[in-house]
Structure 1
Amino acid sequence: MAVSDSRCNETEIRALLFHAERMVLWQSVEAWDDNSLSCSTSTHNDVKNPLRRDGALSSIHLAEYGAQMMAIHGALLVRKNTGGTLAPGVLTSLKDFEMHVPRIDDISAVLTGTAKVLISGASGSIYEFSIDAGDRRVASGRVSVLTLPGATTST
């Protein structure tokens, strides 16, 4: 992966996303280019993770981890290309989502994720993603986002 910018830490990721507090799930961007990025996190081990229910964090929530990688990548691209911020969007579909574990709060390994652009344009984007814990694949799928009508990036 050819890196087009330096790595991003959690503070920088927070500035890129519309999410707040503990809903920012990725802690580091390890590398990125115009077509993909890779991230890492240990937020699945946070007992105060807001996605937990009854003390457990289901692997279904890895769909949100995948969607956030897409948003981070889109925001990095907008910042690089225009100096602006990402326009708001709506998650429109999750396809071919596969979960290989029932829950993720019991995984001690750092989660690493990769997101790759399949289609991107003014009206939205489609990405494929995969998330691993060590050498074990825990989830993969495709996420589509529709840019909200009238939404623009700000500069």
Structure 2
Amino acid sequence: MATYVGYHGGVFLSNGTTSTKIAELESFDLTVDRKFLTKQAFGEAVESQIPGPISWSATCTGKIDPTDTTGQKVLIDHAISQAPQLLSFEFVVDDDGTGKKLKLSGQGYCSLRVNSRAGELVEVTFEVRGASALTATYGT
């Protein structure tokens, strides 16, 4: 039975050629939701469910690092932009760094939450809303 421990995974921004890991993130939670449509004609006693559209979102949490100019800074600037462009994300599960992994890729927009408490490291949360289909790539 294959199990993964989240040592080497992470969230990456991609430009189509290169992927850059977003620094200081400690966790991500990726959710894929499918809407189900109900079908029932007159005289039918039982409803049937038909699979409908899919949506996805992710929550990425860690410690803030605005010096990460190719990762967190890009997301912060994107989140506060009045005209944000689509970003390409890669969510990677890889427990040993050898490439035996699952990568889920898609485009989306993000929002930002910063949590600052006296005497503690400042936390950042990026909420990503999917704007394209996710694709899955499986390592060996």
Q: TM-score range by the shorter chain?
A: 0.3 to 0.5
Larger Rg: 1 or 2? Answer: 2
- Larger helix proportion of the pair: 1
TM-score, length-scaled by structure 2: 0.36
Structure with the bigger RCO (C-alpha within 8 Å, sep 6+) is 2
Question: TM-score, normalised to structure 1's length?
Answer: 0.34
